[in-house]
Amino acid sequence: MKTVLGLDRIGEFASMFKGKRIGLITNSSGVDSRWRTNVEVFTDAGFAITRIFTPEHGMYGKRAARPVEDDVYPGYAIPMVSLFGKKQRPEAGQLQDLDLLVYDIQDVGLRYYTYIYTMTYCMEAAAQQGIPFVVLDRPNPLGNRIVSGGRIRPELRSFIGDYELPVRYGLTCGELGRYFLRYKGISMDYRVIAMEHYTRDMYYSDTGQLWNIPSPALTDFESTICYCGGCFAGATSLSDGRGSPEPFRMYGAPYVDMRRLYQEMKREAAQEDVVFRERAFIPTEGVYQGQVCFGLEFAPLRKDLDFLPTALTLLRQTARMYPEAFTLRDGEAGEKHLSYQTGSWKTEQYLNGAVTRKELLEEWETQSAAFAKEAEPVRIYTSREEEHHEIIYDR
């Protein structure tokens, strides 16, 4: 049975929206099951959107890390406020004429995806102004069963990692919002319009929904699977495939001997749930824009693949083979950006050979298991599909 999205259900909760001045936090992924935009759905239902807030990439999918300017939503003359650029949080004056904040963005279920911090920053701002906050829930493409990767260390918190989340947190946005409130000890009028016909065992391919591109580099479900851990390559001198036909499924650089790398990966990472091959590509963006990158292309064979171990092996083998050419990008305050992405200083030690993959993954498994236990009370969806979910109230 097809999953019913939170946005599909707003008509059931008309009293929540009727007569309210609504601030909508969204982007191009904010569509219903028939791909009508949330602005159209709200407007047709007679609900008034006063202001729109947009996250990284803006409304239209601007390239990663590029500042986004304020704009006006076409066809409706609704002002759009960018929360990626000069500011990451809405200002008090931008909330004073609002009665309600609504979040409706497709997530990917990974800690370094910045949309979730736009959500939590807006929740904090709403709490300070006494404004109710509503999440229109959507599927976690990677499912809610697998929790993996180390938890972000407090000293490494940033806009790509916070709240002691593991890399893959196994929660929907609505559930993550509940975790955030518990973690920060915030009391507010927080509500979730939950999905119907959705369980914690489902992956995006199980929902019956058309693939909803979360951002420019995640063009399909397979790329999203490989984004778990594959994103780490972007903190190194390897291309992570952005600007190629298959972002996060292709990795390489001009200095790589792809035949040799392929042979090394066959010895170290051959397994039944992922296949890979030699692949050269020319990215249209990034440091190697317009240059031929030699490397590997990966294809997950299972929807429940955890690509994180394979991604780590790829980085370690490249670092070992090319100790001078393989480098780490500088991050905040002089530390390496990789530490902020992985949430740990130990990842760099692994790439240098001082820590084994087994040791690193065992430490991360302990941390992710602890998170999974802490997150259990915030879960909305169980393994047994419910016929109906009421709104969740957290005050």
Q: Same domain, yes or no, for 48 and 151? A: yes
Query: Is 162 contained in some domain?
Result: yes
* pLDDT at 90 (0 to 100): 95
CATH number at residue 156: 3.40.50.12170
Classify residue 77: in a domain, yes or no: yes
Q: Are 11 and 141 found together in one domain?
A: yes
| Residue 241 belongs to a domain | yes
Domain match, 236 and 137 both: no
pLDDT at 58: 85
Instruction: Provide, for the chain, the percentages of residues in helix, strand and coil under a 3-state DSSP scheme, each rounded to the nearest 5.
Output: 35, 20, 45
pLDDT tens for each residue of 214-244: 988 999 999 999 999 999 999 999 999 999 9
The sign of the CA dihedral 268, 269, 275, 281 is: negative
Q: What is the DSSP letter of 387?
A: S
Tell me what pLDDT residue 313 has.
96
Task: Answer yes or no: are the C-beta atoms of 104 and 32 closer than 8 Å.
Answer: no
Residue 2 maps to a domain: no
Judge whether 315 lies within some domain.
yes
Q: Are residues 63 and 185 in the same domain?
A: yes
pLDDT of residue 85: 85
- On whether both 187 and 205 belong to a single domain, the answer is yes
CA quadruple 162, 383, 385, 151: dihedral, nearest 10? 0
202 and 247 both lie in a single domain: no
| Residue in this structure with the two tokens 């590029």, named with its chain if needed | 66
Structural domain harbouring 243: 221-357
SS3 of residue 201 by DSSP: coil
Q: Are residues 154 and 54 in the same domain?
A: yes
Count, residues in the chain: 395
Domain co-membership, 62 together with 171:
yes
Which residues are CB-contacts of 154 (< 8 A; sequence separation ≥ 6)? 164
Residue 150 lies inside a defined structural domain of this protein: yes
Same domain (yes/no): 97, 40: yes
Residues 61 and 208 grouped into a single domain: yes
Spatial separation of the C-alpha atoms in residues 16 and 393, rounded to whole Å: 13
The verdict on 196 and 242 lying in the same domain is no
* pLDDT of the residue at 215: 87
Categorise residue 62: left if φ over 0, alpha if ψ from -120 to 50, beta otherwise. beta
Kindly give the parts of the chain with pLDDT less than 50: 385-395
Question: What's the number of domains the chain is made of?
Answer: 2
164 and 44 share a domain?
Answer: yes
52-86 residue pLDDT tens: 999 998 888 766 667 788 899 999 999 999 999 88
Note whether residue 365 is domain-resident.
no
- Establish if 364 belongs to a structural domain: no
- CATH number for the domain spanning 271: value is 3.90.1150.140
Sheet holding 78-82, edge to edge: 71-73, 78-82, 48-54, 21-26, 100-104, 133-136, 190-193, 392-394
